[in-house]
Amino acid sequence: MKKYTLQADVRTVTGRKVKTLRKAGNIPATVYGKKVKSVSVSVLRDAFIKVFEHAGETGLVELSVGSDMRPVLIHSVQVDPVKDTVLHVEFRQVDLKEKVQANVPVIHTGDSPAVIQKLGVILNLLNEIEVEALPSDLPEHISVDISTLAEVNQEIKVSDLHIPANVTVLTDNTLGVVKVGSLVTKEAEQQAAAEAAAAAEAAAAAAPKEGEVAPAAGAPAEAGAAPKEAAKPEEKKPAAKE
């Protein structure tokens, strides 16, 4: 496994004053670990970003703090949601002889015949796998070959992955990692939208308008109208006497 090196300086500036560090091109950071006293440090922004792009959260980094060389993993990176700049970093110092747990990203290799033949689309069910290994044995990523996926609903599970012998998978082996989903064409989407619109229009037409009351069975046509009285037979007047 490739190792990366990074220089850090002990940091005395804390709180809101760390803004001055960021303006100067530095990132405030913290080093912590099991049986390790936490240390506040700062690293050059450009140097950190370059290391992080390659090491990720599973690559072993040799962090030089003064005269100490500390083996660390980049455990957490806080990013400004608006400016998309790194605000703070947490380095997890590890014991090279003690196993650690980490989430390893999953990457796809090969091409799916189902996608090539436009039968379906690839669905990513898991983006990372939790594993346990010595810090120096942690894989930077786990590859999943999707060239075997040729049919809709075909799936690759965690148990199907090729994992190094010195790495233990902690994620449930029965979970799916990647799957071929049904291909939804534009024509099918348009047809579904048209059917939904027609159903909504029919429901709106059947509903009574505002202020109207639907007539009950056997009720007169005009709601609230009283029934008309039946016409009485005309009474015959007695004939006048002469």
**Residue 172 lies in domain:** 102-186
Q: What is the count of structural domains for the chain?
A: 2
Same domain for 171 and 106: yes
Residue 242 has what pLDDT?
Answer: 43
Q: Is 12 contained in some domain? A: yes
Residue 72 dihedral angles phi and psi, to the nearest 5°: -135, 160
CA distances from 27 to 57, 74, 88 (A): 17, 13, 6
Q: Is 222 contained in some domain? A: no
**Residue at token pair 């980049």:** 74
Same domain for 56 and 15: yes
Same domain for 88 and 109: no
Q: Domain holding 23: CATH number?
A: 2.40.240.10
Give 8-19 pLDDT, tens digit per residue: 999 988 888 888
Q: Is 200 contained in some domain? A: no
CA distance 1 to 135: 9
Same domain for 132 and 66: no
Q: Is 119 contained in some domain? A: yes
CA distance 172 to 155: 15
pTM above 0.75, yes or no: no
Give 222-231 pLDDT, tens digit per residue: 544 455 555 5
Same domain for 90 and 8: yes
**Residue at token pair 């760390």:** 18
Instruction: Look at residues 186, 212, 232 and tell me which one is the last residue of a structural domain.
Output: 186
Closest CA to 91 of 27, 167, 134: 27
Give 36-67 pLDDT, tens digit per residue: 899 999 999 999 999 999 999 999 999 999 88
Same domain for 127 and 83: no
Strands 36-44 vs 86-93: parallel, antiparallel or unpaired: unpaired
Instruction: Look at residues 63, 95, 127 and tell me which one is the last residue of a structural domain.
Output: 95
Same domain for 160 and 90: no
| Strand, coil or helix: 112 | coil
Same domain for 71 and 46: yes
Q: What is the enclosing helix (H) or strand (E) of 191?
A: helix 186-206
Same domain for 72 and 117: no
Write the single-letter amino acid at 128: E
Q: Is 176 contained in some domain? A: yes
> Which two structure tokens, joined as six digits, stand for 41?
């440090």
Same domain for 55 and 17: yes
Q: Is the pLDDT of residue 90 over 80?
A: yes
Q: Is the pLDDT of residue 236 over 60?
A: no
Same domain for 123 and 87: no
Q: Is 33 contained in some domain? A: yes
> Which two structure tokens, joined as six digits, stand for 242?
């002469």
Give 140-181 pLDDT, tens digit per residue: 899 999 999 999 999 999 999 999 999 999 999 999 999 999
The mean predicted confidence, pLDDT, of the chain is 85
Rg (CA), the chain: 37
Closest CA to 161 of 147, 145, 148, 150: 145
Q: Domain holding 174: CATH number?
A: 2.170.120.20
